[in-house]
Structure 1
Amino acid sequence: MYKATEKLFEICDYGPVYPLSIFDYADKSSIREHRDAVEKEFADMDREKKSLGKLFSRIRRLLPGAEIPVVFTIISPYTQSIFVVDSAVYLGLNHYLGTDYPLYESFPDYVRRLKVRGRIPVDMAEAIIRTSYPFRPTSDYPQALSRMAYEGAVAEAVMQVADVNEQESLGYSDDDYSWLRDNEHDIWDIIVGKKMLFSSDTDIIRSLIGVGPTTNVISPSSPGRAGRYVGHRLVQSYLDANRSASLESLFSHEFYDNPSLLSLAGYNP
């Protein structure tokens, strides 16, 4: 616990660990305002312990190159709910207090709907996967296709290790997910027709996969991160056509940077 606290204080720039600094940390308004709600909501964490135990077991089996960290629960002063440092992962319980939690009222719907206990295994899986298998393109200017394929690989891995469906992995509401499914062909046509697929423009890539209410480069009506949805569809098509491919192989640049990826995947929405 001391080493974990020491690392947390280093990350948060709170200086060395000693009784007064721990008291100061606990007394910060960003920590104190959530304390009662966290203690009440998470008085019993048996559910999380069981679900995370199953999650880590699947990760060991399906992603042997991933490191399983030690989990420490905290009240996080940051907007990031989970972060991995060395062999430890810090789980900010104040980010999972339910959609009706009063201090979430100012958050947009697409953020607030994900702040529920059921998201903990999904978010934990994604944090471990991204840390263990970061995006490492061969080019200094990766194309949108490469990043979309990587994001699709992350979504697929989360589905398999967290035992959730595509909608849960990607974090969409029913309406947003239905819109993406109904418009998948049109989304692909826009990405290809506007020459975004092989673009290295960081603004375009950020718009396609970045968190937000919409994907404006597709349509004002499109839910956010539409490029990530299409990326996962591409990955599913690739796995259907290449059944011997392992889950771990999707995180190699030989996959997401492969110039023949489109033909290998045979994606045709």
Structure 2
Amino acid sequence: MTNSKYTLNTKLFLWLALCIITLQSCDKGSPCENKPDLSNIDIKLNFIALEDQMMKLSDSSQVDSFAKQHPIIAQEFLNRAEYNSTNDFNVGVSELFSNPHIDTLHQEAKQYVTDVIDLKSELEEAFKMIKYNYPQFEAPTVKTVVSGLGKDLFISDSLIVIGLDYYIGENAKYKPIGLPKYVLKRFQREYIVPSIVLLISNKFNASNLNDKTLLAEMIYYGKSYQFAKEILPCTPDSVILGYTAQDIQGAEENQHIIWANIIENEMLYSTSHVDKGRFINERPKTLEIGPKCPGRIGHFIGWKIIQNYTNESPESLSKMMEHMDAPSMFKKSKYKPS
């Protein structure tokens, strides 16, 4: 009897395990588990880590040579325009990189931010996903720097520069000045690639510049987040939105209250900068809704509308991003939280 019972329990366990594995493997709702095959997508990423080289800029001639090779970095990250002359700039930057404080940032960036090989791999994967959706896409050159918190990111069609020292996070001895805590929380390692992808989305995000309504702005942001989610399907929604997990939960649970406030106060088609600012601008909380409602709540609602739209009107990412008629997308989304 003991052996029979053991055999039965074993069979039951194996059957349950098989069911669980089967269900997991057939989960069509997880975009992370259903990524397209990118094996035939060829991306040649020119990735240049400059932080170690910059730490050796100890005299004016070295700075002058570096600035000529990397003019965007000199302008955007080393604040070239703030100096009266080239000589002043060269001397000032050489003094900057002789300061022990920047060496601290350099070491912390190496310790907490990333192994640049991992960062390169993540960017290559993201760029492959973009090229999968936009075959004409060409990966920009990527450079990483430590500049004494000169800037976080620079992005153009041909160049991305990442200020690694901006993304050290809570462990940083020195943090960007003037940024509130609710913004600073987004300057951590896991936000680098999503931030880049969100900025790249602007290139593909068509909009009607004559439509100045709150709805149009929410739809624009919603399309950007949907773009980022499809390019980075394994990235948590909280990281894409720049919310905490608690923010996401609170916003999800109170969608109907947020939406009712927008509708009852007739703000959906408002063009008032004040009305739009309440729901779009950086704020710690949207107090008009309640003390637990995160800021930028219009971004969240815009993304929910676009998620509904993609469910109701399945189409390619590139096609969705081409739409400029915000009212039409809203109508087709059938968004109405209960």
**One-letter amino acid matched to 1:6:** P
**One-letter amino acid matched to 2:168:** L
Structural RMSD (CA): 3.0
| Structure 2 residue 122 is the aligned partner of structure 1 residue 51 | yes
Per the alignment, do residues 104 and 77 of structure 1 end up closer, same or farther by CA in structure 2, a change over 3 Å counting?
closer
Give the gaps of 5 or more residues in structure 2. Answer: 1-65
SS of the equivalent of 2:154 reads: strand
- The equivalences for 1:1-269 within 5 A come to 5-11=70-76, 12-14=79-81, 21-28=89-96, 33-42=101-110, 44-64=115-135, 68-76=139-147, 81-104=152-175, 107-130=179-202, 132-133=203-204, 136-139=207-210, 142-163=212-233, 164-243=235-314, 245-252=315-322, 255-269=323-337
Of 197-206 and 63-72, deviating more is 63-72
Larger radius of gyration: 2
TM-score, normalisation: structure 2: 0.68
SS of the equivalent of 1:215 reads: coil
Residues 5-51 of structure 1: per-residue CA shift (max 9 Å, x gap): 2133344444799787345235349x973443234432731211111
| 2:285–2:293 CA contact under 8 A, matched in 1 | yes
Give the gaps of 5 or more residues in structure 1. Answer: none
**One-letter amino acid matched to 2:106:** V
Q: How many residues align?
A: 263
| 2:167–2:192 CA contact under 8 A, matched in 1 | yes
> In 2, distance between residues paired with 1:42 and 1:17?
32
> In 1, distance between residues paired with 2:125 and 2:151?
24
| 1:155–1:232 CA contact under 8 A, matched in 2 | yes
| 1:83–1:127 CA contact under 8 A, matched in 2 | no
**One-letter amino acid matched to 1:56:** F
Of 7-16 and 91-100, deviating more is 7-16
Of 93-102 and 75-84, deviating more is 75-84
SS of the equivalent of 2:327 reads: coil
| 1:73–1:91 CA contact under 8 A, matched in 2 | yes
Of 43-52 and 72-81, deviating more is 72-81
SS of the equivalent of 2:169 reads: coil
